[in-house]
Amino acid sequence: MPRSESLRPDQAAPAYLTPRELAEHWRVSVRSLERWRAEGYGPRWVWIGGSVRYAAEDVRAWEQARRGDR
């Protein structure tokens, strides 16, 4: 999924994102997401069909919780 199309509020996002899609969206490595999961950091995630997935609504909520007020 191209970064410009992922998680835009004006566009329907997929219900679940793969680690690769989320890594592209945030411009971090998939390995960073793996480390964050091991450390209990980052948005909630689920196992679906033997693979990690992130619910788009959980990603948005996690981003909102970390927004700074300026």
Q: Within a 10 A sphere around the Cβ of 21, how many other Cβ atoms?
A: 22
β-strand pairing of 51-55 with 16-17: antiparallel
Res 12 pLDDT > 90: no
- Rounded to 5 degrees, what angle do the CA atoms 24, 29, 34 make? 115
Amino acid at 70: R
What are the residue boundaries of the structural domains of the chain, listed by start? Answer: 13-65
Please give the class, per CATH, of domain 13-65: mainly alpha
Enclosing H/E stretch for 70: none
| Cβ–Cβ < 8 Å for 53, 46 | yes
The fraction of the chain above a pLDDT of 90, given in percent, is: 74
What's the confidence (pLDDT) of residue 6? 52
What's the confidence (pLDDT) of residue 4? 43
Burial class (CB in 10 A: 0-12, 13-18, 19+), 49: exposed
